Amino acid sequence: MAPIRNPVEHRPRVVSLDRHRRQKRAPLRRLSPEFDGMEMLYANDRHPDKLFALKILAWALRTDDSVVALVPWLDRLTTASDLADPLNGRWEGFRFAGEDALFTEAPEHKVHELRAAAHYFNSATHLPLPQEIPDTIGTHVLFSADGFRSIRLQEVVSWRLNAQGWINAMIVDENRVTRTPVLPGDASLMAATDDPHFRYFFQHGMANRLKERDPEALAAIALLGEPR
């Protein structure tokens, strides 16, 4: 997650994270992967003059008809506007990769796509229909059983939306593999959070640095400590 300088003089309105945490969130109804490289931008108190870019995994339609961006963040999949980190990180907006223009609303074409799909797949009970999308941003899961003295990284294959409107990150259970490649929906997949040693999600850039035993990346993991 390399820092980028603030591309605009006037930042978008900062959404109150406390207010969002107090609100009861509507379950998700439908997912649409982000295929155009759109990024979420965030800032934190340690680097007040910079914005940081994070790839968006998908857009989601909630049962209240709102559309939100989803990003794997620390120990959960979160919406962009709910993002928070140990350095008081906060969401600042969206942009297309390589462009300077920032915006704060879901792109119109994704809103239309999600609502049209929800209408097409509408169930009699209006509950979310199960759905599974591939991971397109190189998400990895970090596991540790000994307080990060040793770690294990594993790629996320897919993200599974259940009938209750919640999402699980799906990884391969090597003991159940009967054919390769393992694709979304395969019987050998399991929810990453079912493993008691699950700790964090990382996108591929940070995951690669950890695989290479990069000292700064390892130090950052040590500072995070156990998930809150």
Position 87 scores a pLDDT of 60
- Pairwise CA distance, residues 162 & 132, whole Å: 9
Confidence band, pLDDT 50/70/90 cuts, at residue 10: very low
What is the tens place of the pLDDT at every residue in 79-128? 988 876 666 667 889 998 878 788 899 999 999 999 999 988 876 556 67
Instruction: Take residue 101 and report the two structure tokens written for it.
Output: 């223009």
What is the tens place of the pLDDT at every residue in 128-139? 778 999 999 999
Confidence band, pLDDT 50/70/90 cuts, at residue 59: very high
Instruction: Take residue 203 and report the two structure tokens written for it.
Output: 């996108």
- 175 φ/ψ angles, rounded to the nearest 5 degrees: -75, -10
Render the chain in DSSP notation, one character per residue: --EEE--SSSPPPPP-HHHHHHSPPPPEEEEEE--S-EEEEEE-TTSTTEEEEEE--EEEEETTS-EEEEEEETTEEEEGGG---TT--EEEEEEETT----B-S--HHHHHHHHHHHHHT--TT-PPPPEEEE--S--EEEE-SSTTSS-EEEE--EEEE-TTS-EEEEEE-GGG--SSS--TT-TTEEEGGGSTTEEEEE-HHHHHHHHTT-HHHHHHHHHH-S--
Give the residue-averaged pLDDT of 184-208.
Answer: 90
Confidence band, pLDDT 50/70/90 cuts, at residue 45: confident
- Pairwise CA distance, residues 203 & 105, whole Å: 23
Question: Does the predicted TM-score (pTM) go above 0.85?
Answer: no
